[in-house]
């Protein structure tokens, strides 16, 4: 079996959330337990850090992995979704899983797939855990797929749990209030395992504190604030209370909260004593996370004349951060290439976007994509005007054609828009 035929098998035989949405969601650990038992429970053969939250999971996961790598630890990283290649989901010391391993894993384990009928996420997570165990890693940084309590990754008993923040997303699964969503995310808190909560929120802090009390888990909030000083060669120069000035590779003001979360997690890890993350590794990991782990799509600057930036913000809170960041840019005219998926609160997202922009409404090549035509109709209700384009490539090319050298083009709205955009560059 080749790598491509293995991927074809995964996508055609298993429910894939990014294609079909809710129909692919299989809550609970029953399938996970069966598959991991069959594989010899690889998740018990390495230490881990488990990360949930509405936004920021990917940035926090990759940055922590970069710090561990810089400190000399053999580091596994499991995140989702991918932007360009399936292998982005499973990394070892920043390098994507070997294509031959993916092909062999799928070919050798079709019997258990037929028996259990797992989701795409459940099987790829099992693949990641088997890969990490076989490579005798020191630590795995594992991001939840959706929620926490019923997420497949919640089979882990980690060294540390992290919940980045709580906002409205996947409400059809997690609940319609911040408290309900927080309760689901709090499900990753395990007995006697410390937990870092990335952002104190008045609506949700009681949920976390009660859960931590119930499980005898020590609860931490970030203390070391990252203060923006200036942009420095496509990185942010920030001031911290403990490390002085530090260069942050992931730009965008929303990353200040993520980096504070990372920093608190590092302090807790060092206090636990099983891993030592020295100052030079912290500085290197935070400054060079993109090179070390391959993370992309976080306020990523594509070119400067005209300025082109893409970002994976894809829900209410994510787009609010994006809109704030757009306001901070200096430009002559603003062009926004925008597409979304059909199970988001599109109106809430559009309500944050600037009206003084030319919009290029489009859609990614996934089944969940909201049609560009429908998106344009909804956007008009919020005073957002533009034209409809059948593909992201055509929308972006039109924006480039219309833009002068001092204009700003933003591309986003969903992970799939960003991934398809980057793949076409």
- What is the maximal distance between C-alpha atoms in the chain? 59
75 C-beta neighbours (distance < 10 Å), count: 25
Mean predicted confidence (pLDDT) in 173-201 = 89
Cβ-proximal residues to 26 (8 Å cutoff; 6+ apart), any chain: 15, 118, 119, 122
Predicted confidence at residue 21, as pLDDT, reads 46
Could you tell me whether strands 90-92 and 75-78 are parallel, antiparallel, or unpaired per DSSP bridges? antiparallel
Given CATH 3.40.1190.10, say whether it is the number of domain 3-293.
yes
pLDDT in tens, 333-346: 999 999 999 988 99
Rounded mean pLDDT, 178-207: 92
Residues 6+ positions from 12 with CB-CB distance below 8 Å? none
Q: What is the pLDDT of residue 34?
A: 96
Q: Return the ∠ at Cα 356 (arms to 353 and 359), rounded to 5°.
A: 70
What are the sequence ranges of the domains in the chain? 3-293, 300-423
Backbone dihedral angles phi then psi of residue 36, each to the nearest 5 degrees: -70, -35
Is the pLDDT assigned to residue 27 strictly greater than 70?
Answer: no
pLDDT per residue as tens digits for the range 379-413: 999 999 999 999 999 999 999 999 999 999 999 99
Q: Per residue in 73-92, pLDDT tens?
A: 999 999 999 999 999 999 99
Q: What angle do CA 17, 54, 21 make, to 5 degrees?
A: 15
CB 280 within 8 Å of CB 320? no
How many C-beta atoms lie closer than 10 Å to residue 385's C-beta?
13
Average pLDDT over residues 203-219: 94
Q: Which residue has the higher pLDDT, 279 or 232?
A: 279
Strands 160-163 and 47-52, by their bridges, are: parallel
Q: What is the CATH number of domain 300-423?
A: 3.90.190.20
Do 300-423 and 3-293 fall under one CATH topology?
no
The owner of tokens 């219309």 is 402
Residue listed under structure tokens 């209700």: 381
* Per-residue model confidence as pLDDT tens digits over 237-271: 999 988 899 999 999 888 999 999 999 999 999 99
Q: How far apart are CA 62 and CA 68, in angstroms?
A: 10
Q: Residue 220 is encoded by which pair of tokens?
A: 């931490």
pTM of the model: 0.94
- Give the dihedral of Cα atoms 105, 108, 109, 114; nearest 10 deg: 130
What pLDDT shows up at residue 169?
63
The residue whose two tokens read 């099992």 is 126
Entry field: residues in the chain: 425
């Amino acid at each position: 079996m080749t790598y491509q035929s293995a991927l074809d098998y995964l996508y055609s035989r298993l429910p894939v959330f990014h294609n079909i949405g809710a129909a692919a969601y299989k809550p609970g650990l029953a399938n996970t337990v069966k598959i991991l038992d069959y594989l010899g429970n690889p998740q018990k053969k390495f230490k881990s850090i488990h990360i949930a939250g509405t936004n920021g999971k990917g940035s926090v996961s990759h940055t922590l992995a970069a710090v561990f790598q810089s400190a000399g630890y053999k580091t596994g990283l499991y995140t989702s979704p991918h932007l360009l290649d399936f292998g982005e989901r499973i990394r070892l010391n920043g390098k994507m899983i070997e294509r031959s391993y993916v092909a062999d894993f799928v070919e050798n384990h079709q019997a258990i797939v037929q028996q259990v009928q797992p989701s795409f996420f459940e099987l790829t997570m099992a693949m990641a855990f088997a890969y990490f165990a076989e490579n005798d890693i020191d630590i795995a940084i594992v991001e939840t797929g959706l929620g926490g309590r019923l997420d497949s990754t919640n089979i882990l008993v980690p060294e540390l749990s992290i919940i980045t923040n709580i906002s409205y997303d996947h409400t059809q699964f997690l609940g319609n209030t911040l408290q309900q969503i927080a309760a689901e995310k709090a499900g990753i808190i395990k007995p006697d395992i410390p937990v870092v909560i990335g952002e104190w929120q008045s609506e949700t802090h009681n949920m976390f504190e009660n859960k931590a009390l119930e499980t005898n888990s020590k609860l931490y909030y970030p203390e070391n604030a990252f203060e923006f000083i200036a942009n420095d060669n496509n990185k942010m120069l920030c001031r911290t209370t403990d490390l002085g000035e530090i260069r942050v590779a992931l730009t965008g003001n929303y990353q200040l909260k993520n980096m504070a979360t990372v920093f608190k997690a590092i302090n807790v890890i060092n206090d636990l004593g099983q891993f030592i993350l020295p100052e030079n590794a912290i500085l290197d990991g935070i400054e060079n996370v993109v090179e070390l782990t391959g993370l992309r799509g976080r306020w990523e600057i594509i070119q400067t004349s005209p300025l082109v930036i893409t970002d994976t913000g894809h829900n209410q809170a994510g787009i609010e951060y994006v809109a704030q960041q757009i306001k901070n840019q200096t430009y002559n005219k603003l062009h926004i290439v925008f597409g979304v998926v059909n199970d988001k609160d599109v109106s809430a997202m559009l309500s944050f976007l600037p009206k003084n922009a030319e919009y290029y409404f489009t859609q990614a090549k996934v089944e969940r994509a909201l049609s560009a035509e429908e998106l344009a109709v909804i956007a008009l209700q919020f005073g957002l005007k533009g034209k409809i384009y059948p593909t992201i490539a055509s929308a972006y090319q039109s924006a480039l054609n219309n833009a002068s050298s001092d204009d700003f083009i933003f591309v986003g709205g969903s992970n799939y828009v960003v991934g398809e955009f980057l793949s076409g560059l």
